[in-house]
Structure 1
Amino acid sequence: MTFEMLFVFGLLAVTIALFISDRLRMDLVALMVVAVLAVSGIISPTQAVSGFGDPVIIMIAALFVVGEALFRTGVAATAGNWLLRVGDGSETRLLLFLLPVVALLSAFMSSTGAVALLIPVVLSMARKSGLQASRLLMPLAFAALIGGMLTLIGTPPNIIVSGQLRAAGFEAFGFFDFTAIGAVILFLGVLYLVFIARFLLPQSAIRETGNPHPTLSVFTERYPTAKQLHKLIIQPGSPLNGQTLSEAAVRSQYELTVFAVQRQGQFLSTLQPVLSQTRMQALDTLILYGRDEDVHNFCQALQLRRLGFPETEMMKLQQRFGLAEILLPPDSPLTNHTLKEGRFRENYNLSVIGVRRQGLALDTRFIDTRLAAGDTLLLAGAWEYIRALESKRELVVLETPAELQEIPVHAGKAHMALSIMLAMLMSMTLGWLPNLSAILLAALAMILTGCVTLSEAYRSLNATSLVLIAGMLPLALAMESSGALSFVVDYLIREYGNLSPILLCAGLFLMTSVLSQFISNTATTVLVAPVALMTAQTLGLNPEPFMMSVAIAASTAFATPIASPVNTLVLAPGNYRFADFAKVGIPLQILALAVTLALVPWLFPF
């Protein structure tokens, strides 16, 4: 063993120890690895920083932009709402739907890309359902990795082993030759992740930085009126037809706050805010806050009919409208005036639906109450007007809900964003363009079409994940350049080459799986696949079962956060520690090993 090999093994051991200890941030450790390799002489300084220009890093960065565009246009929220409906608020049901979806997506595109696209969806679902994101993100990542086992193009190792078979004069693997084994692993893996891994996943909630925003439900607890939401339709012949709310004295006479209107024949997503000049029409649908008895009197007097408010419509409503809480400072022009005198709706395009004074909510009949300095007001209205409050110097914005952070600011571009994403997936699946080219073009198209702004695109880049991946790639290069990886492979083959074919497959699987926890599974496959092929030829055996074992094992990168870019992507948003991956991932590796050893000899006889 040469000095260079010892040095690389020592660096790898120290790196893993630092990761496990959790004393330093993992991206900082990765930068330290880059610095050590740059001065070691084992690889050149240029090679030491080559990870930052690696196509994988560029592809992941571009996928962050694509994912941000889907988030900003509301596509991610729509997908999340659908999964929430079918999941019915249950973690188990949610995972049973989510995991097969991401696995199927990963079967036809990069698993890294699939996870990058779905992380905003999962984070949105976790917040809306009250679940911890840490309970969803790791299963998401592992299902994506298993999805790569389903088809020839699911992951680079599958293509590598197939290509090497062809180069050696054997028949290459077909597109669906991987499917039977991958499908069984997926089925059992989903059961494991849903029903067993829940006891191994971290239980603590994600740590928040700073003052976390409350949800809309928190506002409804502070202000009783926020729970009194109603939906009414204006009947033909109603006196309200053709009038504004002010002309009909809806607020002063009935103590009701109408903040949204839906015109006949339009979808709920096209709801418009009710402004001071908005005139009502027959068959308009009104969304308002108020007491049941006041709503009853309103309907009787002005010929309106109550409608139901399904949960699905409530979710869509929250995409357009929300709540915010403000404080009146002593110099506010609203102090010592009523809401009507202060012309609040006319000036701010928002409605006051609750008032708190000295910590106590006032009675709902506060229309004639003179406001005082220190009063807090709960406002209802369109999100764009709530955002505009930040520029109003005469008001102090106390809190805006967490939902505001997820409201699509480019909702009108949703169809464009979806079309761009589908074009990207088709290009990658059908081989029209290389994956990197397709993803880069998609990211650029998202920016040029206004689905995401350039500043939003820059902010979407997860620096922690990118630096960690870029910093660890040169370590794999150093292991290859120093001969350390070949040394390990040669030693294992020399010691265990005389075992039975099934045990040899098990050994190759374990070796590939272990190495893939610390270096690229693509690099591991490139080095191990020739060994597997040569071993089969030397023993006069069919190489297909050996090569299939290597390919499946290369996708079992479950035990460390650096095993795959997929794991690294969920590390920060899931607030995971290094050991969390080992606790959940190692049993899944053993499961994949058992399935492979049971099926490979049957499907691909020795």
Structure 2
Amino acid sequence: MADSTLVFIVLGATLAAFVWGRFRYDLVALAALLGSVMLGLVPGEEAFLGFGHPAVITVAAVLVLSRGFERSGVVDVIAEQVLRVGERLFLQLLVLTGTVVVLSGIMNNVGALALLLPVAMRLAREHDASPSILLMPLAFGSLLGGLTTLIGTPPNIIIASYRGSVTGDNFGMFSFFPVGATVAMAGLAFILLIGWRLVPQRAGKASTEAMFDTAHYLVELRVGEDSKANGLSLRELQQELEETIPVLAVVRDERRRAGHAFFGVLQEGDILLMEAGPEEMKLLEDKAGLRLGKDAEEDKEKEVKEVEEKEAKKAKKAKKGSRTHQKNEGSSGEENRRDKGNEKQDKKKKEKEEKSGVDTEGLQLVEAVVRTDSMMVNRTVTQLRLHNQFGLHLVAVARDGGRLKQRLHEIRFRPGDVLLLQGGESELAESLATLGCLPLASRNLTLGQPRMLLVSIAIFAAAILAMIFDLLPAAVALSLAALVTLLVGVLPLREGYQAIDGPVIVLLGAMIPVGEALETSGGAALIAEAMLAWGSEWPVIVTLIGLFVLSMVLSNIVNNAAAALLMAPIAASLASGFDASVDPFLMAVAVSASCAFLTPIGHQSNTLVMGPGGYRFGDYWKLGLPLSLVVMVVAIPMILLVWPLQE
């Protein structure tokens, strides 16, 4: 069997596995690489050279630098300015989406979105609006902004490196800017003027106060004398229940202690503030002997009432046989007591009404979205040991715009899930960063280090200047900047390693040799010949449009980096077949591979907003399809203008 046929079989199986989604894309890519080695398509001694490829190193360095921006206080500076725009939706969209377009050009576009996502959520809440109207334009804006520079998105880095292997000269830092900036501005104008009207507005307001109105889900449970919970620690209580039901607070002697910080044993009369539905309530009563706290309050009220009635009877007997004047005085005294009793009852009634909703103030609740690179993906709260290792209680989970009703310990987390968590204020930021979660809203949670803002900007600017003046190759300049970022303390070393998206690095390192096999086996030439035969009677621009559409469709069903890796050899073969410059064909792949607007799985930015925005899978194409057409209509003429077919 010919090598080209074997390559097509491997790639066909790889693409099918990507679309199926049963296995993570990095595992699929690694399987494709090892399969290619076993079939003799990739020499064994060259199997892992892709992991040292400049494109892989550059992507890793950009991810570290982007995380440094997140930690340096950029979000606080931006939020302060963005929140001044007021209630006008047009201005909100302009400032948010425009800002993410600019930021995505100077840092990884997923990192730029991560900076502005909490700002957008806060803006929506302050104006009591659905976040869905802001988040999809924000995600698409991050994709558009990534088109403008070399480091904005992985496809640009891949295409730049591939051009170097073909022509001996890489695309530079701002080689993408003329085409990318024009396309980004056209896309931004479309979103602001027309596109936002195509975004579904979810009435559920996923991840807003309405989604996690905790007072409607929390109950107060009392530890009685005969309760099994009496004398148990909270950890022992969880083991007794064989269920993860968060204890948010323990009330003892009118003092409330946060559940994650309570390490003593429960005593009679303790009130537990817990997240519990009807099924959990029955479990708590059967296995732990806990009952609603309000029953205890009613018992006390009953006792007080009985005492008051006894005192009233004694007072009535003492007044018998008194003189008229004394009777009158007694009546007045009784009326006074009756008035006081009424005042007490009114006061109790008022207090009872005020306590109809459970007070959650001061519980340090935070909402966070699970990132695509989170260690929580496909794992449960039990497997993560969320409380023991990270000091966090999971209170609730929202997915696809609705709160999940299944038991918390049964939930396997997915990218885009919105979590309601409780934890200590000082540990929240570090725990969320370690888990790979992006905070959306919290009380008194400081994320940035403003004093390091200028330092991180200076480091990045030095790297850009080194690239512009050809002092250092892009991979070396950005790696040096990432190293300095870690050395000066902008980013802790542990977070630096966490910032490197392992699955993306494995995907790139594994697929680069497979993409080269597509070229060396003649597979890319065969596809190019088929496209040349199809377009032989048409102008070259028609074939360029076909390449653009094919790459754009592919990027919506597989990772955009994988799409760029697979399409780059085909683009080069097409250019050779037409005896034209390779630049316009490679630039067409760079733009189209980065414009995955049709599905939530085509790009991490789309996945990241799915949960907070309450979007469904089919919501993306409603704005994404017309935006894709706008991008293509603007990009093709600009590519031919800036990068002519004949040099």
Same fold (TM over 0.5): yes
Give the SS at the match of 1:327.
strand
Aligned mates of 2:535, 2:49 — CA distance in 1: 36
Aligned mates of 2:627, 2:591 — CA distance in 1: 11
The corresponding residue for 2:249 is: 327
Alpha carbons 2:69, 2:453 under 8 Å: kept: yes
Shift in Å, 1:143: 0.6
Alpha carbons 1:77, 1:124 under 8 Å: kept: no
The corresponding residue for 2:497 is: 458
Within the alignment, does 1:486 sit opposite 2:521 as a pair?
A: no
Residue 97 of structure 1: which of 95, 98, 103 is its match? 95
Deviates more, 1:78-87 or 1:214-223: 214-223
Alpha carbons 1:189, 1:588 under 8 Å: kept: yes
The corresponding residue for 2:76 is: 77
Residues 352-398 of structure 1, C-alpha deviation per residue, up to 9 Å, x if partnerless? xxx999589x9xx9xxxxxxxxx9884499x9xxxxxx99xxxxx96
Given the two structures, how large is their TM-score scaled by the length of structure 1? 0.56
Aligned mates of 1:464, 1:204 — CA distance in 2: 35
Q: Which amino acid aligns with 2:588?
A: I
Within the alignment, does 1:40 sit opposite 2:39 as a pair?
A: yes
Shift in Å, 1:424: 3.1
Q: Which amino acid aligns with 2:30?
A: L
Residues 112-160 of structure 1, C-alpha deviation per residue, up to 9 Å, x if partnerless? x431441331232244245359625640342134425999xx9468868
| 1:385-424 correspondence to structure 2 within 5 Å | 399=423, 402-403=441-442, 407-408=446-447, 410-424=449-463
Residues 293-336 of structure 1, C-alpha deviation per residue, up to 9 Å, x if partnerless? xxxxxxxxxxxxxxxxxxxxxxxxxxxxxxxx97346xxxxx54
Q: Which amino acid aligns with 1:115?
A: N
Give the SS at the match of 1:85.
coil
The corresponding residue for 1:187 is: 185
Q: Which amino acid aligns with 2:183?
A: I
Aligned mates of 2:8, 2:619 — CA distance in 1: 24
Residue 573 of structure 1: which of 608, 611, 623 is its match? 608
Q: Which amino acid aligns with 1:440?
A: S
The corresponding residue for 1:142 is: 143
Within the alignment, does 1:555 sit opposite 2:559 as a pair?
A: no
| 1:301-312 correspondence to structure 2 within 5 Å | none
CA gap of 1:574–1:115, structure 2 versus 1, over 3 A, is same
Alpha carbons 1:146, 1:182 under 8 Å: kept: yes
Give the SS at the match of 2:42.
coil
Alpha carbons 2:149, 2:156 under 8 Å: kept: yes
Within the alignment, does 1:448 sit opposite 2:484 as a pair?
A: no
Aligned mates of 1:379, 1:7 — CA distance in 2: 62
Residues 445-488 of structure 1, C-alpha deviation per residue, up to 9 Å, x if partnerless? 22211222112223333333333343433331221232211111
Give the SS at the match of 1:555.
helix
Within the alignment, does 1:63 sit opposite 2:62 as a pair?
A: yes
Shift in Å, 1:338: 8.2
Within the alignment, does 1:121 sit opposite 2:115 as a pair?
A: yes
Unaligned 5+ runs, structure 2: 126-130, 219-246, 257-271, 274-291, 298-346, 348-357, 367-389, 392-420, 426-440
Shift in Å, 1:531: 4.1
Aligned mates of 1:206, 1:29 — CA distance in 2: 35
Shift in Å, 1:40: 2.3
The corresponding residue for 2:571 is: 528
Unaligned 5+ runs, structure 1: 224-324, 330-334, 340-354, 366-374, 384-389, 392-396, 538-542
Give the SS at the match of 2:485.
helix
Aligned mates of 1:13, 1:548 — CA distance in 2: 27
The corresponding residue for 1:12 is: 11
Alpha carbons 1:20, 1:578 under 8 Å: kept: no
CA gap of 1:182–1:58, structure 2 versus 1, over 3 A, is closer
Q: Percent identity?
A: 21
CA gap of 1:548–1:26, structure 2 versus 1, over 3 A, is closer
Aligned mates of 1:97, 1:8 — CA distance in 2: 46
Q: Which amino acid aligns with 1:185?
A: V
Q: Which amino acid aligns with 1:70?
A: F
Shift in Å, 1:57: 2.8
Shift in Å, 1:165: 12
Aligned mates of 2:82, 2:596 — CA distance in 1: 28
The corresponding residue for 2:337 is: none
CA gap of 1:474–1:533, structure 2 versus 1, over 3 A, is closer
Aligned mates of 1:143, 1:469 — CA distance in 2: 22
Alpha carbons 1:64, 1:461 under 8 Å: kept: yes
CA gap of 1:433–1:29, structure 2 versus 1, over 3 A, is same
Aligned mates of 1:216, 1:430 — CA distance in 2: 51
Give the SS at the match of 1:71.
helix
CA gap of 1:201–1:165, structure 2 versus 1, over 3 A, is farther
Shift in Å, 1:77: 3.1
| 1:589-604 correspondence to structure 2 within 5 Å | 589-596=628-635
Aligned mates of 1:173, 1:61 — CA distance in 2: 19
Shift in Å, 1:417: 2.5
The corresponding residue for 2:403 is: none
RMSD of aligned alpha carbons: 5.6
CA gap of 1:58–1:80, structure 2 versus 1, over 3 A, is farther
| 1:212-227 correspondence to structure 2 within 5 Å | none
CA gap of 1:506–1:34, structure 2 versus 1, over 3 A, is closer
The corresponding residue for 2:244 is: none
Q: Which amino acid aligns with 2:35?
A: V
Alpha carbons 2:198, 2:623 under 8 Å: kept: no
Residues 158-208 of structure 1, C-alpha deviation per residue, up to 9 Å, x if partnerless? 86899899999xxx999999766555533332244454377478969999x
| 1:194-343 correspondence to structure 2 within 5 Å | 194=192, 195-196=194-195, 199=198, 327-328=249-250, 336=253
Q: Which amino acid aligns with 2:33?
A: V
Residues 550-595 of structure 1, C-alpha deviation per residue, up to 9 Å, x if partnerless? 52343111465999xx965436534599988777655544433333
Aligned mates of 2:75, 2:28 — CA distance in 1: 33
Aligned mates of 1:183, 1:53 — CA distance in 2: 30
Residues 419-438 of structure 1, C-alpha deviation per residue, up to 9 Å, x if partnerless? 32333344344444322222
The corresponding residue for 1:477 is: 516
CA gap of 1:562–1:200, structure 2 versus 1, over 3 A, is closer
Aligned mates of 2:18, 2:83 — CA distance in 1: 35
Alpha carbons 2:568, 2:589 under 8 Å: kept: no
Q: Which amino acid aligns with 2:526?
A: F
Q: Which amino acid aligns with 1:418?
A: I
Alpha carbons 1:115, 1:141 under 8 Å: kept: yes
Which is greater in Rg?
2
Alpha carbons 2:8, 2:523 under 8 Å: kept: yes
Aligned mates of 2:513, 2:598 — CA distance in 1: 13
Aligned mates of 1:193, 1:529 — CA distance in 2: 33
Aligned mates of 2:483, 2:620 — CA distance in 1: 34
The corresponding residue for 1:241 is: none
Aligned mates of 1:493, 1:188 — CA distance in 2: 31
The corresponding residue for 1:277 is: none
The corresponding residue for 2:309 is: none
Aligned mates of 1:46, 1:94 — CA distance in 2: 54
